[in-house]
Structures are given as C-alpha cells and as structure tokens.
C-alpha cells in the first residue's frame, strides 16, 4: 500500500520518531499505526539490548515536592553521553516522569516504570522508544520517594546530584534554610548513613578489617589490633554518618548539634542522595 507524507507525519506526531524511521515502520506494518508503533518499540528494544552493558553516567536529576512539603520525590534519568542529556526530547521525558511520580505516588522504580504517561503508554515504553530514536542506552537510574513532617530538597547546579532531607518534630519552625545547608553537606560529604546505627554490618566489618590491617602495617602488636580497629571505627562514624559529621559551615558543631540549636528536639528521620557522577 501507499504510505503518504500525512501518514508519516501522523506517526511522527504520535511517537516523536524521525521521518525516515516512521516511514520504514509504516511500510513494514502495511499502514497499521498500532503495528508501526510496535515496530518502533522493537527497534528501541534492540538498541537497548545491544547497549545494555554501556555505562550511563550522564543525564538529569529532577525533584518534586508536595504543596505542603510533606513528601518529596527524586528521579535520575540517565544516558551515555552529555549531548543526549541536553536533547529536548530527553529532558521532556524526564519532566514527564517526575510529574507522573508526583501524581501517582509510585512506591518504587518498578512501579513508576509501569505507570502510564499522557498517551497511555508506560514510562518504560517511552524510555525504550526514545532509546531507539536516539541510539544510546537510556535508563531510569534512580527513584526515591519519602514522606515526613517536612521534606527539604536540593538539586546541585549540574543537575546530576539530588538530595531529599526528612525532618520531624519541626514544631512550626522554618527549616528551609537549615535544610538546604544540610542537603548541600550531604551532596558534598556523601554520608553513608544517618547515624552509626544505620551503618550496615558489611561496612562495619570491612572498616574493622581495614583498621586492623593499617595497625598491623604500623607494627602494632597483634593483641592490640581489635582495640585499635574499634577506635578507628568510631572515627569512621564521626566522618561518615550525617548526624555525627562536623557542620561544614561551622566545624565547632556537629549536624546533631546544629539541629538542636535550631529547634529543641528537631530531628532528621532520613535522607536520600542520588547521583549520576
């Protein structure tokens, strides 16, 4: 059958694919638009499979906060190269995904990928299709969804790092400024946990072994290694857990003390940091 320019343009408007790709898909599908869309999606799946092992260190991180700031969501839509991260279609898709996350309250990345966008196709379907059009791997690299009395967000200037901080026992205090300061600290200092109780056992065991090995290399007696390693572990907690870190803007106080100085009983219940770098 004859494929008209109007048909090609219609499919292009429906999918955003290139004119030649649309014409090829319509020809293969014998003019059936739904079948042509499947053809385009299969092309995206082939590209995705071929580039599955490629690194995706570029992209964009976006945030959405509820009107009352009691909920925050972060997404990272990742790609292989910086030029793709600046393409309008890539950024439009990222915005559509964070908008859908805000509206749907999807509990996980798996659930968010299954959510339908405006045209009824899933988030995952749109990612696969864009993969086929652009020709490089695109993935929803991260998704976070947290709720608290107040949630403060921060996106680093390169749009590749995002942070959510959950505050409790706010008691009407304005935590926007202190929240931004703490979020910026999380961005820069990369704490592994909120407090030492949140450090996983594997990390603790690894740090103890590192401490023992360092002490052994320094010539310390074997009988002293465990005690020395435990001492080094306490230093690790001070440097790597948020509440025990020194505040970067005032090293005379910790983040825990900063919170108490702001509002008695003010606490952080959790934080999330996602990064493409």
Average of per-residue pLDDT across 56-76: 97
Region for 7 from its dihedrals, namely left if φ exceeds 0, alpha if ψ lies in -120 to 50, beta otherwise: alpha
Which segments of 158-254 does DSSP mark as H helices, in order?
Answer: 176-189, 201-217, 225-240
Phi then psi for residue 89, to 5 deg, are: -60, -35
The radius of gyration of the chain's CA atoms, rounded to the nearest angstrom, is 24
DSSP 8-state class, residue 263 = S
Report if pTM > 0.85.
Answer: no
Residue 246 tokens read as 């020194």
The pairs formed by 66-72 with CB atoms below 8 angstroms and a separation of 24 or more are 66/102, 66/151, 69/150, 69/151, 69/152, 70/147, 70/148, 70/149, 70/150, 70/151, 71/105, 71/145, 71/146, 71/147, 71/151, 72/144, 72/145, 72/146, 72/147, 72/151, 72/152, 72/153, 72/164, 72/166
Closest CA to 125 of 210, 34, 55, 193: 34
Residue 9: pLDDT above 70?
Answer: yes
The string of pLDDT tens digits covering residues 201-210 is 999 999 999 9
Average pLDDT over residues 212-236: 90
- List where CATH 1.10.8.10 sits in the chain: 5-50
Q: Which residue has the higher pLDDT, 244 or 131?
A: 244
Q: Would you state the CATH architecture of domain 5-50?
A: Orthogonal Bundle (1.10)
Which ranges in the chain are annotated with CATH 3.30.479.20?
53-147
| Element at 139 (helix H, strand E) | strand 138-147
Q: Which H/E stretch holds residue 2?
A: none
Tokens 């972060």 sit at which residue? 74
DSSP assignment letter at 3: P
Nearest to 237 by CA among 191, 186, 168: 191
| Residue 241: per-residue pLDDT | 97
- Look at residues 191, 177, 197, 189 and name the one whose alpha carbon lies nearest to residue 263: 177
pLDDT at 54: 81
**What pLDDT does 5 receive?**
84
Poorest-confidence range of 8-22, 108-122, 233-247?
8-22
161-198 per-position pLDDT tens digit: 999 999 999 999 999 999 999 999 999 999 999 999 99
The CATH superfamily label for domain 53-147 reads Elongation factor Ts, dimerisation domain (3.30.479.20)
pLDDT of residue 133: 82
Distance CA 15, CA 134 (A): 13
User: With bands split at pLDDT 50, 70 and 90, how would you rate the model's confidence at 1?
Assistant: low
pLDDT 10s digits, 236-258: 999 999 999 999 999 999 999 99
Which comes out higher in pLDDT, residue 49 or 10?
10
Q: Tokens in use for 109?
A: 């990345």
Q: Are the CB atoms for 152 and 134 separated by under 8 Å?
A: no
At 85 the pLDDT is 95
Q: 91-105, 118-132, 157-171, 258-272: which has the minimum mean pLDDT?
A: 118-132
């Amino acid at each position: 059958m004859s494929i008209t320019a109007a048909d090609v343009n219609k499919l292009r408007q429906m999918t955003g694919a290139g004119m030649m790709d649309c014409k090829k898909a319509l020809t293969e599908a014998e003019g059936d638009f739904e079948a042509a869309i499947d053809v385009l999606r299969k092309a995206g799946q082939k590209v995705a499979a071929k580039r599955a092992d490629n690194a995706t260190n570029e992209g964009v991180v976006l945030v959405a906060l509820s009107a009352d700031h009691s909920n925050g969501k972060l997404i990272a839509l990742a790609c292989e190269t910086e030029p793709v991260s600046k393409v309008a279609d890539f950024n439009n898709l990222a915005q559509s995904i964070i908008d859908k996350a805000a509206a749907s309250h999807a509990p996980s990345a798996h659930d968010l990928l299954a959510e339908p966008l405006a045209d009824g196709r899933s988030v995952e379907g749109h990612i696969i299709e864009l993969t086929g059009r652009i020709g490089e791997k695109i993935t929803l690299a991260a998704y976070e969804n947290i709720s608290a009395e107040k949630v403060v967000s921060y996106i680093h200037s390169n749009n590749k790092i995002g942070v959510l901080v959950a505050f409790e026992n706010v008691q009407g205090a304005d935590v926007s400024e202190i929240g931004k300061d703490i979020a910026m600290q999380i961005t820069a200092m990369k704490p592994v946990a909120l407090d030492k109780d949140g450090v996983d056992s594997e990390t603790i065991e690894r740090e103890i072994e590192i401490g023992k090995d360092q002490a052994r290399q320094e010539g310390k007696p074997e009988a002293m290694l465990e005690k020395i390693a435990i001492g080094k572990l306490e230093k690790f907690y001070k440097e790597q857990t948020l509440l025990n870190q020194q505040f970067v803007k005032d090293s005379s106080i910790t983040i825990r003390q900063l919170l108490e100085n702001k509002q008695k009983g003010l606490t952080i219940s959790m934080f999330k940091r996602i990064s493409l770098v």
